[in-house]
Structure 1
Amino acid sequence: MTSTSSTPRTWFLTGASRGLGAVWARAIVERGDNLVATARDVDAVRPLADAYGDRVLPLGLDVTDTAAAGAAVARAEEHFGGIDILVNNAGHMLVGAVEEATDAQVREQMEVNYLGALWTTRAVLPGMRERGRGHVMQVTSLGGVVAYPALGLYHASKWALEAVSESLAGEVAPFGIHVTMIEPIMFPTGLATQSPQTTPHPAYRHARELLYSESAAHGLEVGRPESTGDALLALADLAEPPLRVLFGIKGVEAVRGEYDKRVATWEAGQDLSRLAHGVRAGVA
């Protein structure tokens, strides 16, 4: 796929060395765009620069380091003259019950998935505002909308990113900046196996069983990571990109079921809602 833009755009992609990030990095440069490819280990993204030359700027970046995020964005803007699209993809998935997680694991999950995306987002906004255009793509997850047992801390980080991104979209729209939450469903990227794990406690064996049974009940299907590159480029080409987009199929059904349950729960608790407002049963 070739770019529909008359001039190459510049992308800033975190987590570019593996999983969906590696797929997207190759898709971006193969279409002729410029890419700032970041990873914790810069050597993991150097092969892209070796293959595509000056169109790729490989940078080492720990997204949890606020100063490092700002410095990486400044370096990218100096090298390419500006950033058109930010893709916050860096992240991991802590598997385990809430009680099982250590304090350090809880903090790391939020620092990488939520705060890491926040730091890079804040760093690119001044340049995008000055140029009057830009697109911030936040990689959340179907798990940013629904929540399963044994993934509570992961969900918390993605729900937080969804909340701040929705608020951000309203804040930056007047400057010509778009925000999109990309919500992948199920792709075999090794995310779970390569991410930190809690030490299982026998009391929470049922939680792991529920994780797999509930996700299976939604009928979710495993997709091909290679196909997501085409979707990412198509998203970038939209004049009015959506605030949210699910990558993969069967996600809409899962989300609809989740929201139906929420509304039903709120409706069932209307007596308590009225009581909290000072309206007692039988009183008009």
Structure 2
Amino acid sequence: MTTHKTWFITGAGRGFGRHWALAALERGDRVCLTARNSGALTEVVEQFPHSALALELDVTDREGVFEAVRQAHNHFGRLDVIVNNAGFGQMGAIEEVGIDSIRANFETNVFGTLSVIQAALPYLREQGSGHIVNVSSVAGVIAVPTAGIYEGAKFAVEGISEALAAEVAAFGIDVSIVEPSGYATDFLTPDSIGQAPTMPVYDQLREELASSLTPDALGDPTASAGAILALVDAEQPPLRLMLGNLLPVVKDVYAERIRTWEAWNHIALAAHAHPTTTPQQD
């Protein structure tokens, strides 16, 4: 029998965050939903007035993050599942994206995630349990041209999460990274993805990427909710959970990396060799 849990979810106004919040509430869990526009959460709170708490939150406001986590803990008395879902994409070749856009993407996807983690950890450590779920992406596993800034942010989330898992395991806290493939969410709309001014020299790469993203390749986000519930209910949740048919392409990418490392291993070993010393003569 599943014990009811208390969730704190960022970016719950739409997309994955909203679907996962509704799935948790429908099974009797309690959820603090946060979004930059709390009006997007009104309908959920009206539907679940006793188990849903809505807070307006921009995760780039570090003080606001700590206050929201404190309010959620005070309201419910505990926090069991922390879901870092707030984020947005950024398209553009590395040369095309302006530094302000780069900083904005990292502020939300990386530093916002870090603020939520740091705000929640004292409560989770004190109660000796909890599960931090950081939403990454296939873009945090493999990189394609013209999405490097977003991919860089998600690669950062992966590294932070992997280290965090080792740091907090002794406190009874689990950490999982969720790596979704392409889904038909609002993420692909202009409100959720930045577009840098384009340079014609990169147009062919853009066209090749666009041709690989057919509509039928996008998953139904409502189908992901069951996977997230299974993840947080698992006695030993995995560090990484891919959503969608990503395994074949990821296996190919990692196989190629291993082939390259092996081919260049003699150079790698030579680069780490200790210098030989000539025995001293008596």
Q: Same fold (TM over 0.5)?
A: yes
Q: What is the deviation of 1:43?
A: 1.1
Q: 1:224 aligns to what?
A: 220
- TM-score, scaled to structure 2: 0.92
**SS in structure 1 opposite 2:185?**
coil
Structure 1 gaps of 5+ residues are none
Which residue, out of 13, 32, 35, partners 1:17? 13
Instruction: Tell me the equivalent position of 1:156.
Output: 152
> What does residue range 1-284 of structure 1 map to in structure 2 within 5 Å?
4-5=2-3, 8-194=4-190, 195-212=193-210, 221-249=217-245, 251-278=246-273
Q: CA deviation at 1:203?
A: 1.2
Q: How many residues align?
A: 272
TM-score normalised to structure 1 length = 0.91
Deviations 1:225-273 (A, max 9, x none): 1111111111111111000010112x11111111111111222223432
Q: Contact 2:137 / 2:178 at 8 angstroms: preserved in 1?
A: yes
Which residue identity is paired with 2:207? E
Q: Give the ranges of 4+ consecutive aligned residues of structure 1 lying more than 4 Å apart after TM superposition.
A: 213-216
Matched AA of 1:200: T
The answer to whether the Cα contact below 8 Å between 2:145 and 2:205 also exists between their aligned partners in 1 is: yes
CA radius of gyration, larger in: 2
* SS, match of residue 133 in structure 2: strand
Instruction: Work out the percentage of aligned pairs sharing the same amino acid.
Output: 41
* Matches of 1:135 and 1:190, distance apart in 2: 26
| Shift of residue 278, structure 1, vs aligned partner | 4.7
Shift of 1:153: 0.4
Paired residues of 1:149 and 1:210 also in contact (CA < 8 A): no
Shift of 1:50: 1.2
Question: Which AA in structure 1 matches 2:267?
Answer: L
**One-letter amino acid matched to 2:258:** V
SS at match of 1:53: coil
1:143–1:158 CA contact under 8 A, matched in 2: yes
What runs of 5+ residues in structure 2 fail to find an aligned partner? 276-282
Alpha-carbon distance in 2 for matches of 1:259, 1:124: 34
